[in-house]
């Protein structure tokens, strides 16, 4: 099976601007996507637009755990602070952080990380940030690999594409991709509507570039994130509620109520733009480092 439209490397280059490995990504997509039935212009447009949003145009392929002490307290407040572990002992040590916050013995939501070192070995990788031994094991079985072999594979272009396509297939996203329902697609992928406006804009552009323009009703991101544990994923974003959000709001000079809503997102985007960071309204390690000092 191959694509049922003329998919060119130049198309992909337009949809992941600034990426320096377009040729590698294009070759990987041509090999992998047809295996999962992602062959029509709509399916490919949805796949690229969603993955490009999640990975900063296919550039962020591994979870960034290089947190300062203040950032650890802000993002992983349930693990560090008074009566818990000392954040200073973990700061700037990504492997040590992962082997603590991602090990099952320290978590309420399990990831299958039961062996020493699993947290680091099975940290988030790929276009969809495959995380945890359980997910790596299930993905590995589908392509005749062990979890450990899959961890190496996902760090490659082919593996990053295939792990995302595997997720896509498990979630039965092809039938949804046959429609223009970006909202439903985002809900299944993200658990809410975080980044919906950007995802929709990317999809519209992708369809235009691939020769099948669509007209979509304009949308705005909302706070429908009930299915996402926004305090467990290593960032502060819309929907988060924590003392860490209070720290961030205070640094932004806005009301520090600990609830990350549209006003906080707007203020954060403005601050990111002013400080030369990607204005995505999400506070990860780079943003928190600069914001919290």
Task: Give the separation between CA 212 and CA 142, rounded to whole angstroms.
Answer: 33
Model confidence at 282, in pLDDT bands (50, 70, 90)? confident
Lookup: tokens for 267: 């203020």
Total number of domains constituting the chain: 1
Q: Where are the alpha helices (DSSP H) in the chain?
A: 9-15, 22-32, 41-55, 69-75, 94-101, 118-121, 133-142, 147-153, 157-170, 174-177, 182-190, 196-209, 243-252, 262-274, 285-292
* Mean pLDDT over each residue of the chain, to the nearest integer: 91
Asked whether residue 178 is assigned to any structural domain, the reply reads yes
Which percentage of the chain shows pLDDT scores above 70?
Answer: 94
Asked whether residue 174 is assigned to any structural domain, the reply reads yes
Asked whether residue 51 is assigned to any structural domain, the reply reads yes
- Residues in CB range of 172: below 8 A, 6 or more apart: none
Which of these ranges, 132-146, 221-235, 261-275, has the smallest mean pLDDT?
221-235
Q: What pLDDT was estimated at residue 115? A: 97
Asked whether residue 166 is assigned to any structural domain, the reply reads yes
Q: What is the pLDDT of residues 18-54, one digit of tens each?
A: 999 999 999 999 999 999 999 999 999 999 999 999 9
Q: What is the pLDDT of residues 133-167, one digit of tens each?
A: 999 999 999 999 999 999 999 999 999 999 999 99
Asked whether residue 105 is assigned to any structural domain, the reply reads no
Asked whether residue 191 is assigned to any structural domain, the reply reads yes
- pLDDT above 50 (res 224): no
Q: What is the pLDDT of residues 161-215, one digit of tens each?
A: 999 999 999 999 999 999 999 999 999 998 778 788 899 999 999 999 999 888 8
- pLDDT above 60 (res 16): yes
Asked whether residue 14 is assigned to any structural domain, the reply reads yes
Asked whether residue 23 is assigned to any structural domain, the reply reads yes
Domain of residue 169: give its range. Answer: 9-58+156-209
CA neighbours within 13 Å on the CB side: how many for 268? 28
């Amino acid at each position: 099976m191959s694509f049922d439209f003329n998919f060119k490397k130049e198309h992909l280059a337009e949809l992941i601007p600034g990426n320096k490995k377009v040729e590698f990504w294009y070759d990987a997509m041509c090999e992998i996507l047809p295996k999962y039935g992602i062959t029509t212009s709509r399916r490919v447009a949805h796949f690229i637009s969603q993955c490009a949003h999640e990975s900063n145009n296919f550039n962020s392929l591994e979870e960034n755990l290089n947190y300062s002490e203040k950032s650890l307290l802000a993002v992983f407040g349930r693990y560090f602070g008074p009566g818990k572990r000392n954040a200073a002992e973990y700061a700037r040590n990504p492997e040590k952080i992962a082997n603590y916050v991602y090990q099952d013995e320290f978590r309420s939501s399990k990831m299958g990380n039961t062996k020493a070192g699993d947290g680091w070995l099975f940290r988030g990788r790929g276009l969809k940030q495959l995380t945890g031994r359980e997910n790596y094991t299930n993905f590995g079985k589908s392509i005749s690999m062990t979890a450990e072999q899959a961890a190496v594979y996902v760090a490659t272009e082919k593996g990053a594409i295939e792990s995302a396509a595997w997720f896509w297939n498990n979630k039965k996203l092809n039938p949804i991709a046959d429609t223009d329902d970006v909202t439903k697609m985002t809900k299944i992928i993200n658990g809410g509507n975080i980044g919906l406006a950007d995802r929709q804009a990317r999809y519209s552009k992708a369809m235009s570039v691939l020769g099948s323009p669509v007209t979509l009703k304009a949308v705005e991101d909302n706070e429908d994130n009930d299915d996402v544990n926004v305090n467990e994923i290593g960032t502060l974003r819309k929907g988060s509620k924590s003392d860490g959000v209070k720290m961030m709001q205070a640094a932004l000079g806005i009301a520090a109520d600990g609830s990350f809503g549209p006003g906080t997102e707007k203020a954060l985007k403005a601050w990111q733009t002013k400080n030369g960071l990607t204005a995505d309204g999400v506070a990860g390690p780079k943003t928190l480092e600069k914001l919290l000092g």
